[in-house]
Amino acid sequence: MSGLADEPHQFSQVVVVVPTKKEAGRVLDKLKELHDAGSHNYDYAYNRTTLENTFVVALDEVEVAVSADKLLTIRLDDLPTSTIQKFARPAVSPAFVAGVKSALAEAHKAAASAASECIAQRMNADGDVLDACGFAHLMLYSPQSPVATALIELGEATVIGGVGYWVSNFSQHAQGCQALCVKEAAVEGARAVMERYFPDAAFGLESSLD
């Protein structure tokens, strides 16, 4: 598969065959992530046209849709359309985008409150929070969701190929504190709000040491 824009060989269509429907979902999520990112974390551009024309077939779904005798000789061109999937790019209404924007505003307030509480609890007599320095991000693990569409429209999603979707910047509420625990607390506060408003989307905390 030619995934990068500057690859010497280009394909008009690509079909990825995987054993199960569950694996197909993961591949479709990854294809959507790469498309939204536009480039990977070393800044090489992806060929979005190729990604848009990449299809995924799960063999367990083919077994259900095709009779046993035909399975022995069926070609990719003859597969039922129900077994051929492309990643979803759901459209969203202005009202939905406004709802996401409102939820983000509440999430930022919760992040600021959680960070302040963490600082108050962890601060020592010298006024320091003793912890390693690091980075914390709220991640969206549902690339094909309407929430992903809205976050991108709002400019509140940073999408990096091979890394994923960073939602907004909740670590900014650490009040200048570099302690990782404070940044994680801010993200967890925001996460609780986003999960309450969008229970069908998957969110998580990812952090790393500086």
Alpha-carbon gap, residue 52 to 50, rounded angstroms: 5
- Residue 209 is which amino acid? L
* More confident site: 119 or 73: 119
Q: How confident is the model at residue 12 (pLDDT cuts 50, 70, 90)?
A: confident
In this prediction, residue 3 carries a pLDDT of: 59
pLDDT at 1 over 50: no
In this prediction, residue 157 carries a pLDDT of: 98
Please say whether the beta carbons of 145 and 200 come within 8 A.
yes
pLDDT at 112 over 90: yes
> What does the pLDDT average to over 189-195?
98
In this prediction, residue 9 carries a pLDDT of: 61
In this prediction, residue 144 carries a pLDDT of: 98
For the segment 24-51, what is each residue's pLDDT rounded down to a tens digit?
999 999 999 999 999 887 778 999 999 9
In this prediction, residue 43 carries a pLDDT of: 76
In this prediction, residue 2 carries a pLDDT of: 47
In this prediction, residue 44 carries a pLDDT of: 84
Alpha helices in the chain (DSSP H): 21-37, 48-52, 59-65, 68-71, 94-122, 146-153, 180-197
Q: How many percent of the chain have pLDDT more than 90?
A: 81
Alpha-carbon gap, residue 202 to 162, rounded angstroms: 17
For the segment 125-167, what is each residue's pLDDT rounded down to a tens digit?
998 999 999 999 999 999 999 999 999 999 999 999 989 999 9
The residue behind tokens 């670590």 is 171
Helices 94-122 and 146-153 pack at an angle, to 10 degrees, of 80
Q: What is the DSSP letter of 8?
A: S
Alpha-carbon gap, residue 170 to 113, rounded angstroms: 11
Q: Where do the domains of the chain lie? A: 14-85, 94-209
> What does the pLDDT average to over 180-198?
98
pLDDT at 7 over 70: no
Alpha-carbon gap, residue 157 to 132, rounded angstroms: 26
